[in-house]
Structure 1
């Protein structure tokens, strides 16, 4: 009997471009947590409240209000990565890609490349690099986020890897021939 991991591997081989949220336990990102231990509990509560209010403001289109709230959170705990990641999303929505990238770099640096915030920041930075045509940088960020458990990042890394794409194409051809040995090759 195949394990969950075995099924996930087989699905990745045969359908690398399809999401597989239906495979239990595959997306480990949901299990990631940030290490908030070094921060004062009162300041941490205040910052989390500011961030929550900032996210709500952004969701209703008050981007300047969101930026102000994230800025306040950063001033209270400038060594905590989460507010930088959230501010980067808001800056991106405003079209400030350079500002978003700077905040994402800061979020990855402060998080030490670990935890939920690092994973989210790496995915977001990878997407910005991809939009800018910087596929090598995007691939690196997606690989790091995938190592942290992001299924979306793993899929993006597969899409950006030319060797994997070629291997998958050849594998689909072989499978097609096995399924239909007398017929024409399936079109890809």
Structure 2
């Protein structure tokens, strides 16, 4: 678990335009460390089975069958975020960017913005938005995914935020100089 000081440092790196301080760090204190746990019912088991079939179809290159399986999984359990997240990947690969965004929006909504599925949905939506030239929206999604633990999203936040990149570079230079003994008194 991060200390208050750790959260303040992360806050200043990821939100350089906000005031310094360690109180009410957005997106860090609110993160639920526990994975969202689904009740294992016959419906969720069937939905998961269909999703696995969809993943296997996608891996074999049959996107149409994959999309059919993901849609069936959603029909069986329309309140499970995972089906929407998986279908969004297939839709994106087929070139249906708008359909993918709608499914990712639904996955984020159903997950409550928590857990692994939300992290994946935020990351996938951010990548699409970045490809579409919507860098501000992409940055917000990467921040959300980063707060849920995605190291990839964290690296993208830094890439998209010139202030954070500059701060990170300066910090790296200081650490390198310290390691080389350049700041030690003679």
Q: What is the TM-score normalised by the length of structure 1?
A: 0.73
Matched, 1:44 2:39: no
Higher relative contact order (CA 8 A, sep 6+): 1
1:146 aligns with 2:146: yes
Count of residues in correspondence between the two structures: 156
Residue 185 of structure 1 corresponds to which residue in structure 2?
none
Find out whether 1:34 has 2:16 as its counterpart.
Answer: no
Match of 1:168 in 2: 168
> Could you tell me how far apart the structure 2 residues matched to 1:59 and 1:94 are?
14
Q: CA deviation at 1:132?
A: 1.0
RMSD: 2.8
Aligned-partner Cα distance in 1 for 2:86–2:173: 44
Offset of 1:133 from its aligned partner?
1.2
Task: Name the structure 1 match of 2:92.
Answer: 92
CA distance in 2, matches of 1:122, 1:163: 22
Output the TM-score relative to the length of structure 2: 0.74
List gaps (5 residues or longer) in structure 1: 1-5, 14-30, 182-188
